[in-house]
Amino acid sequence: MTNFEKRLLKGLETHAHPRDLGLYIHVPFCRTRCHFCSFYVTPYHERRIQEFVSALVTELTCYGQRALFHRCPISTVYFGGGTPSVLKNQQLMEILYVLGEAFSLDSQVEITIEMDPSTVNETSLQSALSMGVNRLSFGVQTFEGEEWSLLGRSGGMNAISHATWLATQIGFSNVSLDLMYGLPKQTLTSWQQSLRQAIELRPQHISCYALTLEEGTRFHRDTQAGNLPATEPVLEMVMQDLAISYLGAEGYQHYEVSNFAWPGMECRHNLRYWSGKDYLGAGPSAQSYVSGMRFGNVADLAAYGNMLNRQELPIESLDVLSQEERARERVIFGLRMTQGVPSDDIVPICEGQWQSSIERMIDGGLLVWENNRLKTTEMGSRQLDSIAVQLL
């Protein structure tokens, strides 16, 4: 047992057991790395995938054997990556079976799998649906050919429409599409075209993420070297406004700064993050937040497997948050949601410098009190990072 694991288990003994959990599973395999991606991924190889599945099963079993987690209700499961759709049907079945044994899957559990449209076929979708997967998330990013190539995406764009249509025909009633704006060489016209094509596919959920030039990515290196033009901030704001108005007119509710959904079709798993609820992460680089303790797995597939072969939880970082830190984070993440944060979450910690910061941002037009909830204004929603810095 590692020191991190000892500290984690000792800390959890002194905290209240979670009432329920969200579970994130990181599947770190990709055929190619997209030029904007900063997540931990490793090249696709069938033997390594099976080794990963075996290690993942061990990790989930280890957690399930702990009194704190044994038979704990799981409300949401999210397979992210990487490309979770590289998992074979039998491998996915094995993972879901172990989940049901180690924990207790809620009768209304939301199970999401991120999918590369080019890896989808009728058999894999039917199999996933029969196993209880009830939400799909397709990484589209753009419908424009030049932008698609610039992202370093593999597969063909024609697969997007086919995969979405096929999922609906098979019986999936909760499909999400991810789009990106602020891409190099992207124009307002091409962004509107991507929004239009996404809407035509009638997904229940659409995410619109602004490109972030993360250090270590191909885009970051090319931009720093002057080989790739960065999008002007003003254009990026106009693109965000266009998404809000365009999707709103089509019945999509803007419920979080980057997310839109038909009423009642919000991503329940991500809502856990923004609401400060407990979630457990499994797989290399996965992050967890349970009972005020934040811990992260080692971001290396070989090290991850070796630690689990020794029956050690693959944790490489651990932070214990005070009650005040937990409350402040709940407010900061809650401000990402358009519904804002209830006053009951704020009043107990709204004192001294923190109270002054909130009042200053209200006076500056970034925050507003509305129906006993603290919310960002339109201007504030564009400055969430600045707001977070001031509140931390």
The verdict on residue 308 lying in a domain is: no
Please check whether residues 114 and 223 belong to one and the same domain.
yes
| Whole-prediction pTM | 0.94
Please check whether residues 254 and 344 belong to one and the same domain.
no
pLDDT, one tens digit per residue, over 344-371 is: 877 666 666 677 888 888 999 999 999 9
Percent of the chain exceeding pLDDT 90 equals 64
Mean pLDDT over the full length of the chain: 90
pLDDT, one tens digit per residue, over 65-89 is: 987 888 899 999 999 999 999 999 9
Please check whether residues 256 and 381 belong to one and the same domain.
no
Q: Give yes or no for residue 238 having a pLDDT over 90.
A: yes
Residues 6+ apart with CB under 8 A from 286: 24, 25, 26, 296, 297
Please check whether residues 384 and 236 belong to one and the same domain.
no
The verdict on residue 291 lying in a domain is: no
- Last residue of one domain, picked from the residues 256, 275, 294: 275
Instruction: Identify the pLDDT of residue 15.
Output: 65
The verdict on residue 264 lying in a domain is: yes
The verdict on residue 310 lying in a domain is: no
* C-alpha to C-alpha distance for 380 and 361, rounded to whole angstroms: 9
Q: How many domains does the chain have?
A: 2
Residues 6+ apart with CB under 8 A from 251: 262
Closest CA relative to residue 279, chosen from 22, 6, 51, 30:
22
The verdict on residue 358 lying in a domain is: yes
Please check whether residues 269 and 370 belong to one and the same domain.
no
Task: Tell me how far CA of residue 103 lies from CA of 63, 72, 93, 286, 360, in angstroms.
Answer: 9, 5, 15, 18, 46
The verdict on residue 289 lying in a domain is: no
Query: What is the residue range of 348's domain?
Result: 334-392
pLDDT, one tens digit per residue, over 15-65 is: 667 789 999 999 999 988 888 888 999 998 889 999 999 999 999 999 999
Instruction: Identify the pLDDT of residue 24.
Output: 98
